[in-house]
Amino acid sequence: MTEQHFDIVIIGAGPGGYSTALRAAQLGKTVALVERDDTLGGTCLNRGCIPSKALLTAAHSVENVRQAERMGINVALQSIDFGRLRDFRMSTVETMTKGLAGLLSHRGVTVFRGEAQLKNGHEVHVAPALGETQVLRSIKAGVGEPVGPELTISGGDIVLATGSRPLPLPNDPFSGALIDSTQALELDTFPSSAVIIGAGAVALEFASLWNASGCKVTLLIRKDRVLSSWERRASMTLTRELKRHGVNVVARTSVSHVDTGANLGATVHYRQGDDCEELTAYGEVVLAAIGRMPNTDADWFASNGIALDERGYVLTDAYGRTNVEGVWALGDITPGHALAHRAFEQGITIAETIAGLDPKPVVDETVPQVVFSFPEAASVGLTLSEAKSRDTIVDPQETAYPMLSNSRMLMSGEGGSMTIVSGAMTDAPDVPLVLGVHIVSPIASDLIAEAEQLVGNHVPLADAARLIHPHPTFSESFGEALLKADGRPLHTR
């Protein structure tokens, strides 16, 4: 059995794992990164963020064709070449994963392909990945060399970044036409009809994608609106806009089971509200998008004494330390938003802490949430109800901005909403701050970046409202909303 030692050994090469590796190597640490898949990047690059956004980018082109007639441009959508669309998706993923491999190699990170198990807190046993007979090592980008049928790597610090997987329905495992998000991305064509169970980002993005392609989409949600944990105005607006785009949103549903049957397609059996009558919805495919579960059920989590909460998430302090000395965890296996950009910052924080620096910990309130639906939705910071529940916040206020007063919003033909939450802290009661921003609009995913800076840096509302936004742009709506929140509305009452 071959043995090697590194300063840091990381299990999992998704956003959390590879960001830790890149920053640690930059700080002069020797780093080993162990991944069982044949490409780096985890779910995000291979089966989530990147391929789904590639398809959504294509779907925006379809939407633009449909919007053209409203503006006097006579064009028609003839067909979708699914072969070329598949090539576009796969080439985008390939470019990103190869670029990541090259960057890791340039930074001097040693990549091992294999199945990892933590032993004794500081040793990682690596067995061949599924379908392989040897553990592979890559020092040069993408060039794997066999190093034996098994390998033990020791590290001064171990970072766990094993990620998550789609959560199945309680009584129905993924099978046949009942698929998860990974299978949905791998479909050779878009379905002609689909039932989607869920009200979160994955469900809404596929609803928008398939609906834009002409698929008949039925969206079954548990509450009265999508994104029910978000600020109410934003979630209600997005629910309305999805319906206006043609998605059949069925609220207050409880799914009992899914019948995949012997034929093509699947039938979802559900009840609505307090009605005891069983209803059904049929789709060529049924996508269950009710959340994800952390990959922490391997025996070695328990055998190493790593503390988990009741849902299986690894418990850590603000810097990523677990209860086991020298073992760290981040990303989807820790409680909080399961988002790649959160994992990026967690990885940087862990690497810098191990290196003896004094970074600030990740604060979930400053992590923006984004849904790439049609239109997009984005949120960062507190809602009004959350602000009111804090004893440290004085006089919380909510300001709603009428989005259709923005010229670019009017041109887009979309509906939307924007809400700013402000309030002062008890130690400075006369200085209101920007505490939260909640947006539904085209390019909300880009607009939220400015809001994150204001919320995360505790910028006074009056100072934020003084910032000039170019005219005429979507971003101008944010500037106008800040002015209104500051009691100085310009183009609104």
Is the fold of 166-290 the same as that of 375-486? no
Q: How far is CA 322 from CA 5, 16, 120, 446, 479, in A?
A: 21, 15, 14, 34, 42
Looking at residue 230, its pLDDT comes to 97
Cα 110 from Cα 128, distance rounded (Å): 16
Is residue 482 within 8 Å of 490, Cβ to Cβ?
no
Instruction: Encode pLDDT of 331-351 as tens digits.
Output: 999 999 999 999 999 999 999
Q: State whether CATH 3.50.50.60 applies to domain 4-47+88-163+295-364.
A: yes
State the DSSP code for 80: -
* Type and span of the H or E element at 273: none
Cα 16 from Cα 124, distance rounded (Å): 18
Enter the tokens of residue 279. 């209803």
Q: Which residues pair with 436 in a beta bridge?
A: 381, 421
Looking at residue 417, its pLDDT comes to 97
Looking at residue 2, its pLDDT comes to 53
Looking at residue 434, its pLDDT comes to 98
* pTM of the shown model: 0.95
Looking at residue 233, its pLDDT comes to 97
For residue 87, give every residue at least 6 positions away whose Cβ sits within 8 Å of its Cβ, in sequence order, or none: none
Give the three-class secondary structure for 399: strand
Instruction: Encode pLDDT of 57-109 as tens digits.
Output: 999 999 888 888 889 999 888 889 999 999 999 999 999 999 999 999 999 99
Question: Does the bond joining 472 to the residue before it have cis omega, within 30 degrees of 0?
Answer: yes
Enter the tokens of residue 3. 């043995």
Q: State whether CATH 3.30.390.30 applies to domain 375-486.
A: yes
Question: Does the bond joining 489 to the residue before it have cis omega, within 30 degrees of 0?
Answer: no
Point out the residues that are catalytic. 471
Cα 23 from Cα 394, distance rounded (Å): 39
**What sign has the CA pseudo-torsion 170, 176, 178, 184?**
positive
Enter the tokens of residue 243. 């319906």
Question: Does the bond joining 375 to the residue before it have cis omega, within 30 degrees of 0?
Answer: yes
Q: Could you tell me the fold of the domain covering 166-290?
A: FAD/NAD(P)-binding domain (3.50.50)
- What ranges do the domains of the chain cover? 4-47+88-163+295-364, 166-290, 375-486
Flag residues of the chain having pLDDT under 70: 1-2, 262
Cα 347 from Cα 109, distance rounded (Å): 15
